[in-house]
Amino acid sequence: MRQDAFYAGLRQNLDELRAQGLYKQERVLASRQGSTVVCDDGRRLINLCANNYLGLSGDAFLDGAAREAIERYGYGLSSVRFICGTQTPHKQLERAIADFLGMEDAILYAAAFDANAGVFEPLFGEYDAIISDELNHASIIDGIRLSKAARYRYANNDMLDLEMRLAETGHKQHRLIVTDGVFSMDGTIARLDKICELAEQFGALVMIDDSHATGFMGATGRGTHEHHGVMGRVDIITGTLGKALGGAMGGFVAARREVVDTLRQKSRPYLFSNSLAPVIAGASLAVLERLSSSTELRDRLHANTAYFRRAIGELGFTVKPGTHPVVAVMLFDAPLAQRFARRLYDLGVLVSGFFYPVVPLGEARVRVQLSAAHTREQLDAALAAFGEAGRELGLLGR
Ligand SMILES: *Cc1c(COP(=O)(O)O)cnc(C)c1O
């Protein structure tokens, strides 16, 4: 039967993934998310691989805010926003996101993936150009594909290449430069000050996806635009509620009022998908209130990051330089990175190994992500494990 060939084809593709070592196994946690987690084999490990930058994921602080929201507004809405799916906390959260980021208005989505999938098509048409960093997140790439605008790419964070793309697109009606605020594989920060300069020089718009920055980059945690001193000069900011801001799910676009209004009228993932659960809207509101009143979590995260970055360098590891809580510890060789991550697991430390095709060939690494929730003791124990595994595998002097 023809269907048999279909299923056999899938099985063969899956087998090939396994043979190439590219098959992704899901790790099952038997505990909350946090600075340590219990795996389903019952072992408690120090967790260095969640996007839990501010330590709010799994924190009891949010249980209370979530309980309050659920008691008042219930569990679900069974409606899109514009029919009967907008409650007070949705409007309050949109206002709070816009204020936190220093933007006019904001609109919620079920995920940042949806925000990026829905932001380009209503705003940019066949006479326009979108100029995108080559390392931008998959959701940006997919979102751009859904629009009729001409597509251009520039080399990662390469301002000369970006300038060339701007120079060659002068005939287009509107131009948008789009970049991740922070590139999550390397922890490198987009050169947003220079990007804004070029945008002004060439009359282009600027969009950032600040999923790995909102809540903790910049002096008061507003994001990459605050970090680079360009608040008020970025046209569109997309981001997630699923990382630093509590870690449940949800995304947003923040921009000028006419942009957000247009998205409310025309953005397909917004119009044709259910409202964010009220429990998430209410709890996210509590997160933004807390982050607006104190930089304590952000400060603790950066202190942990500086501590870990200095110590891992002193141990003798090669890391991608920077200041972001994503720390790429370079092993270069894919099997070595896998063995290293496995040995760290045995020593009680959870990190993820990345190798080609997720990162360029010859740039295999383990990625460490720091959190405000990590204690000094946990970081010291993790660093001791890095030292031990590194010496065992011959990566460090003895
Ligand atoms: C994680 C991430 C997303 C997706 O966020 P979700 O809210 O989980 O869909 C989008 N863009 C970037 C840059 C991300 O890192």
The CA 3 to ligand 1 mean position distance, Å, reads 35
Per-residue confidence (pLDDT) for residue 89, from 0 to 100: 98
Strand partners, 326: 369
CB of 94 closer than 6 angstroms to any ligand 1 atom: no
The tokens for 23 are 């098959």
Q: Which tops the pLDDT comparison, 33 or 397?
A: 33
H helix intervals, the chain? 2-19, 60-73, 81-84, 88-101, 112-119, 138-145, 159-168, 192-202, 224-227, 257-266, 268-271, 278-293, 296-315, 334-346, 376-392
Active site (annotated) includes residue 147 = no
Quickly state the pLDDT bin for 26 (edges 50, 70, 90). very high
Ligand 1 atom 1 nearest Cα:
211
Residue to mutate, 57, 236, 240, 324, ligand 1, most ligand atoms under 8 Å from C-beta: 240
Residue closest to 306 by CA, chosen among 289, 287, 327: 327
Quickly state the pLDDT bin for 52 (edges 50, 70, 90). very high
CB of 139 closer than 6 angstroms to any ligand 1 atom: yes
pLDDT in tens, 363-379: 999 999 999 999 999 99
Looking from the CA of residue 137, the nearest atom of ligand 1 is 13
Quickly state the pLDDT bin for 398 (edges 50, 70, 90). low
pLDDT (mean) for 276-284 = 98
pLDDT in tens, 87-138: 999 999 999 999 999 999 999 999 999 999 999 999 999 999 999 999 999 9
CB of 190 closer than 6 angstroms to any ligand 1 atom: no
pLDDT (mean) for 49-62 = 97
Residue 267 has pLDDT above 90, yes or no: yes
Active site (annotated) includes residue 243 = yes
Residue 30 has pLDDT above 80, yes or no: yes
Q: What percent of the chain has pLDDT over 90?
A: 95
The CA 102 to ligand 1 mean position distance, Å, reads 21
Residue to mutate, 142, 243, 367, ligand 1, most ligand atoms under 8 Å from C-beta: 243
Cβ neighbours around 356 below 10 Å, total: 12
Q: What are phi and psi of 219, to 5 degrees?
A: -60, -35
Per-residue confidence (pLDDT) for residue 397, from 0 to 100: 72
- Is 0.85 topped by the overall pTM? yes
CA angle at residue 288 from 78 to 300, to 5 degrees?
Answer: 135
Cα 209 to chain centroid distance, Å, stands at 8
pLDDT in tens, 308-321: 999 999 999 999 99
Per-residue confidence (pLDDT) for residue 288, from 0 to 100: 98
The CA 111 to ligand 1 mean position distance, Å, reads 7
Residue 21 has pLDDT above 90, yes or no: no
CB of 108 closer than 6 angstroms to any ligand 1 atom: no
Average pLDDT score, the chain: 97
pLDDT (mean) for 245-252 = 98
Quote the CA–CA distance of 209 and 133 in Å, as a whole number.
Answer: 11
Active site (annotated) includes residue 266 = no
Helical axes 192-202 vs 159-168, angle rounded to 10°: 20
Residue closest to 29 by CA, chosen among 12, 42, 17, 19: 42
CB of 137 closer than 6 angstroms to any ligand 1 atom: yes
pLDDT in tens, 144-179: 999 999 999 999 999 999 999 999 999 999 999 999
Q: What percent of the chain has pLDDT over 70?
A: 100
Per-residue confidence (pLDDT) for residue 249, from 0 to 100: 98
Residue 1 has pLDDT above 80, yes or no: no
pLDDT (mean) for 355-368 = 92
